[in-house]
A and B are shown apart, each in its own frame.
Chain A
């Protein structure tokens, strides 16, 4: 961040600071979601696309449904892990 902006933070009113903190929180949440999408795409590309020669630039029907299922089952996996861990406490 450039020093000019940093110094000027003292000019912010309380309302501005509150507002900014809310915006920061939203951005941080957005970043978390984006990172999950990157992670999932990586995992699901390896599951659904890799291993066979790439002959076209379009996803086949099978690949499309595989990608969708991959995300859904990954989240099911996450849910079952959390449920099991909770039952073990």
Chain B
């Protein structure tokens, strides 16, 4: 990505399909970023709660170990929720049809 405006030096008009592809790519990138940001936010909140009940002057090795385990657990739980939720949505969808 260039610093000053768009990278293409020649301001030749882009074709419609190029523009479309660009918009879609940007959209998907932002969506993925947003998804990751939400996951980080939730992990931070829940694992801070679970692992650091009394914040000390430094993070102990026990605490950072707990954060690491907690993160692993959260991601596994996230995968289960995702799978369960989507399969349930599919079932409801079939039931309605």
Residues of A whose CB lies within 8 Å of any CB of B are: 1-5, 8-9, 11-13, 16, 19-20, 23-24, 27, 30-31, 33-38, 40-42, 44-46, 48-50, 53-59, 63-64, 67-68, 70-72, 75
Contact = CB atoms under 8 A, between A and B. Distances in A.
Contact of A5 (B15, B19, B70): B19
Interface residues on chain B, size class: 35 or more
What does DSSP make chain B's interface, helix, strand, loop or mixed?
A: helix
User: Most chain-A CB neighbours within 10 Å: which of B13, B20, B76?
Assistant: B20
| Pairs A-B, 3 closest by C-beta atoms | A57-B72, A57-B69, A4-B6
B85 A71 contact: yes
What does DSSP make chain A's interface, helix, strand, loop or mixed?
A: helix
B68 interface: yes
Interface of B: 5-6, 8, 13-17, 19-20, 22-24, 26-28, 31, 34-35, 38-39, 42, 45-46, 49-51, 66, 68-74, 76-78, 80-82, 84-86, 88-89, 92
B76 to A, nearest CB: 5
A71 B69 contact: no
A45 B19 contact: no
A8 B14 contact: yes
A38 B89 CA distance: 15
B73 A58 contact: yes
B57 to A, nearest CB: 22
A1 B50 contact: no
